[in-house]
């Protein structure tokens, strides 16, 4: 399952506008979208200048950056769509552009809505498990007790990120997910402008901005919140960046690229990206002893260039 980020926000805060800016997907932006509108799904590229430098070194024909899946759902007060429960992190879009905008207040409102959504979710599960517990199953009874305590916690207005004990994994709570606020407006990120710039080439878009894209900053904050690292595969055909969660291994890296590569994994050649640039080629890096051979359990580090040997 690829990692996924959900966009949340009050109605008309600019969620779909931010979605379009991040994914270049061109989804319809309308004031007061109907509740029946479907979720938008797209991918946001993770900017990484290391990849461009590696591709230039090797002369790769194709450059493929790593990406994060983004889901945008219509803003419906009091009814947070279920798709968001599968998200690994949430982006909170706050209106900072309309007359009387108050992003700090909206963030509080949104946090409370997420708590309420989790509260209702726990209550529904409690009703179901209570019925099942009537048969006397001790595991179900213990779950009823736990859910009752979770419900009391949420009733006090606190998020489940502040709950110290265990949480049943089937619950998929919203309030344990990292929540990254984005103010949409002149004192934050001008999402409407960024959406227009998303239709231009990167070079043209850069001419409009004085500095780096504020959206890159958002994506990098997501990358940190998800605790992602980047590794590279570099060849003449393609230079590509991939992500793993920190602590994942060379075998996980192989699986990310292709399940066949994981199945036939023999070993993995590893060079630090900056060593490869400094040496100018894989051969030179190997000659200087900067290329290591690692096995399946090697914990991949951010910036590793991997060449996985496999047979199928």
Q: Nearest-5° angle of CA 20, CA 25, CA 31? A: 45
Closer CB to ligand GTP, 98 or 224, in the complex = 98
Q: Which long-range contacts (CB under 8 A, 24 or more apart) does 168-173 make?
A: 168/125, 168/143, 170/125, 171/121, 171/122, 171/125, 172/85, 172/86, 173/85, 173/118, 173/121
Q: Is 31 in the site for ligand GTP (CB under 6 A)?
A: yes
Closer CB to ligand GTP, 33 or 57, in the complex = 33
Build a one-symbol-per-residue string for 69-108: x at contacts with ligand GTP by CB under 6 A, - elsewhere. -----xx---------------------x-----------
| Alpha helix (H) residue ranges in 24-74 | 49-58
17's contact among Mg ion, ligand GTP, none, with CB below 5 to 8 A by partner kind, is ligand GTP
What's the closest the beta carbon of residue 194 comes to ligand GTP, in angstroms? 8
Q: Is 176 in the site for ligand GTP (CB under 6 A)?
A: no
Which of 16, 175, 213, 256 forms a contact with Mg ion (CB under 5 A)?
A: 16
Q: Nearest-CA neighbor of 234 among 65, 54, 49?
A: 54
Instruction: Mark the segment that binds ligand GTP (CB under 6 A) among 5-13, 60-68, 81-89, 139-147.
Output: 5-13
Q: Is 23 in the site for Mg ion (CB under 5 A)?
A: no
| Interaction residues for ligand GTP, span 218-257 (CB under 6 A) | none
Asked if residues 285 and 307 have their Cβ atoms less than 8 Å apart, the reply is no
Asked if residues 220 and 293 have their Cβ atoms less than 8 Å apart, the reply is no
Do β-strands 265-272 and 304-310 pair in parallel, antiparallel, or remain unpaired? Answer: antiparallel
Positions that interact with ligand GTP (CB under 6 A)? 9, 11-17, 29-33, 74-75, 97, 184-185, 190-192
Interface residues with Mg ion (CB under 5 A) are 15-16, 33
């Amino acid at each position: 399952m690829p990692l996924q980020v959900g966009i949340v926000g009050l109605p008309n805060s600019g969620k779909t506008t931010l979605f379009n800016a991040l994914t270049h997907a061109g989804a319809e932006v309308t004031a007061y979208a109907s509740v029946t509108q479907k979720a938008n799904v797209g991918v946001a590229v993770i900017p990484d200048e290391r990849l461009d430098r590696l591709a230039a070194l090797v002369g790769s024909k194709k450059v493929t950056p790593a990406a994060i899946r983004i889901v945008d759902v219509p803003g419906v007060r009091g009814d947070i769509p279920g798709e968001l429960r599968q998200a690994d992190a949430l982006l909170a879009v706050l209106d900072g552009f309309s007359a009387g905008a108050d992003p700090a207040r909206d963030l509080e409102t949104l946090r409370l809505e997420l708590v309420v959504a989790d509260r209702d979710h726990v209550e529904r599960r409690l009703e179901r498990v209570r019925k099942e517990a009537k048969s006397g199953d001790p595991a179900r009874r213990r779950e009823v007790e736990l859910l009752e305590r979770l419900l009391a916690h949420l009733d006090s207005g606190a998020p489940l990120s502040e709950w110290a004990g265990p949480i049943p994994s089937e619950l998929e709570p919203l309030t344990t997910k990292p929540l990254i606020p984005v103010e949409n407006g002149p004192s934050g990120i001008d999402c409407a402008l960024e959406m227009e710039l998303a239709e231009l080439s990167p070079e043209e878009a850069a001419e409009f901005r004085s500095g780096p894209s504020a959206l890159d900053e958002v994506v990098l904050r997501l990358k940190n919140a998800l605790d992602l690292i980047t590794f590279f595969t570099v060849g003449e055909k393609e230079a590509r960046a991939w992500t793993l969660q920190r602590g994942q291994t060379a075998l996980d890296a192989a699986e990310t690229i292709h399940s066949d590569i994981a199945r036939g994994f023999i070993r993995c050649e590893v060079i630090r990206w900056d060593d490869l640039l400094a040496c100018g080629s894989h051969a030179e890096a190997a000659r200087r002893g900067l290329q290591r051979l690692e096995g399946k359990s090697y914990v991949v580090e951010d910036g590793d260039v991997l060449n996985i040997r496999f047979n199928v």
